[in-house]
Amino acid sequence: MSGELANWELKLSRVVAPIRSEPLHTLSDARAYILSLPPGTRHQDDWERAADLLMAAVDSARETDIEQATFQLERALLFHKLLAPR
């Protein structure tokens, strides 16, 4: 269990910058961001997929799983027009 808790502190593949929010650096940051969304938004398919991929990344701690979670997080933010321009 303690290993899984430590895995939440793994870094995303790259920093993700939502509009009107602090940049997301870790899997834990991404989790907190998703949980802060209104329930009607949080339960949409793209956010559910992002949450599923975050859980997979925490479970495995593999770079490929972290990359997939990061990509899906960016995709959901972009779809909802919440991704800050680079």
- Give per-residue pLDDT as tens, 3-60: 667 899 999 999 999 999 999 999 999 999 999 999 999 999 999 999 999 999 999 9
> How far is the CA of 64 from the CAs of 34, 42, 43, 51, in angstroms?
21, 24, 25, 16
Q: Report yes or no on whether pTM surpasses 0.85.
A: yes
Residue 28 lies in a domain: yes
Q: How many domains does the structure of the chain reveal?
A: 1
Query: Looking at the domain assignment, is residue 84 inside a domain?
Result: no
pLDDT category at 85 given cuts 50, 70, 90 is confident
pLDDT at 3: 61
Q: Which domain holds residue 22?
A: 2-79
Q: Identify the pLDDT of residue 9.
A: 96
Q: Is residue 70 part of a domain?
A: yes
**At residue 61, does pLDDT exceed 90?**
yes
Residue 86 lies in a domain: no
The number of residues in the chain equals 86
Cα separation values, 71 from 1, 2, 19, 76, 78, Å: 26, 26, 17, 9, 10
Say if 85 falls within a structural domain.
no
